[in-house]
Structure 1
């Protein structure tokens, strides 16, 4: 009888672990094949619309290349990223266009993204890029 109880508990534990793993994979898959548009950035005392008067930054994650690319508000943006569980870091930015940008939003974006150490996707499907578990940037899904 003890063997049956032990077997039952083992099977139950494995099934819970597999469900958790499937949730994590689904959450990670939500990161890819999506264009994420910035809707909030922490830090600056300038209104969000003042930082990005013409174009809001957006990013896309390329799983195969482990690279993120998009626009930092004015110029193109690309950088390698490292993802392990919820831990997320960005490497040095690659070559970018050199357009003149107003508002200072691009520099704010580039400074903050270097400090990111994790991510989360909330119940509303918004991507939070965090520094020490504090959301520094929030993105929404858009079609581009």
Structure 2
């Protein structure tokens, strides 16, 4: 009789564990699962070739970043971005990415080294306002939904 009771208890426990794992899977949104595994064209290493924002003057890329050209690395698998803003390195989480959108988390962190003559905040503000992307050949365009902010990158070939 005790063996039957133990057997029933084990069966009930296994059924409960199975139901719990199914409930956890159903709570996960399908977009979250495919976002992290689907390779998008935006993934890779990109070097800045043009910047336009609503705050821009007529300064060139060389005027803004005389020491180093900013670059961006998009890692869809890890849902992270990395790069250099012309002076400092930065990294931060990607909130959402799909065929059109690249939404960055507000928690993009950067080192705070001072570089004379460099304007990294112009780049970081533009990067923070970018919400959508478009790929044209080996060129990446990042822009806001109202098409005001543009960061134009060229694919870095290894």
TM-score (norm 2): 0.65
Q: Alpha-carbon deviation of 1:133?
A: 5.5
Match of 1:100 in 2: 114
Which of 31, 34, 38 is residue 42 of structure 2 equivalent to?
31
Distance 1:112 1:95 in 2: 15
Question: Secondary structure of the equivalent of 1:102?
Answer: coil
Match of 1:140 in 2: 154
Instruction: Check the 8 A contact 1:86/1:118 in 2, yes or no.
Output: yes
Q: Alpha-carbon deviation of 1:50?
A: 0.4
CA deviations 1:92-116 (Å, max 9, x no partner) are: 2444322112334310011111111
CA deviations 1:62-98 (Å, max 9, x no partner) are: 1222000011111001111121330121112444322
Q: Alpha-carbon deviation of 1:40?
A: 0.4
Match of 1:114 in 2: 128
Decide whether aligned partners of structure 1 residues 53 and 93 sit closer, same or farther in structure 2, where only a CA change above 3 A counts.
farther
Supply the RMSD in Å over aligned alpha carbons: 1.9
Structure with max Cα Rg: 2
Q: Give unpaired runs (5+ residues) of structure 1.
A: 1-27
Instruction: Check the 8 A contact 1:130/1:137 in 2, yes or no.
Output: yes
Question: Secondary structure of the equivalent of 1:29?
Answer: coil
CA deviations 1:3-56 (Å, max 9, x no partner) are: xxxxxxxxxxxxxxxxxxxxxxxxx53322x21000100032122110010101
Distance 2:51 2:107 in 1: 19
Distance 2:122 2:64 in 1: 9
TM-score (norm 1): 0.71
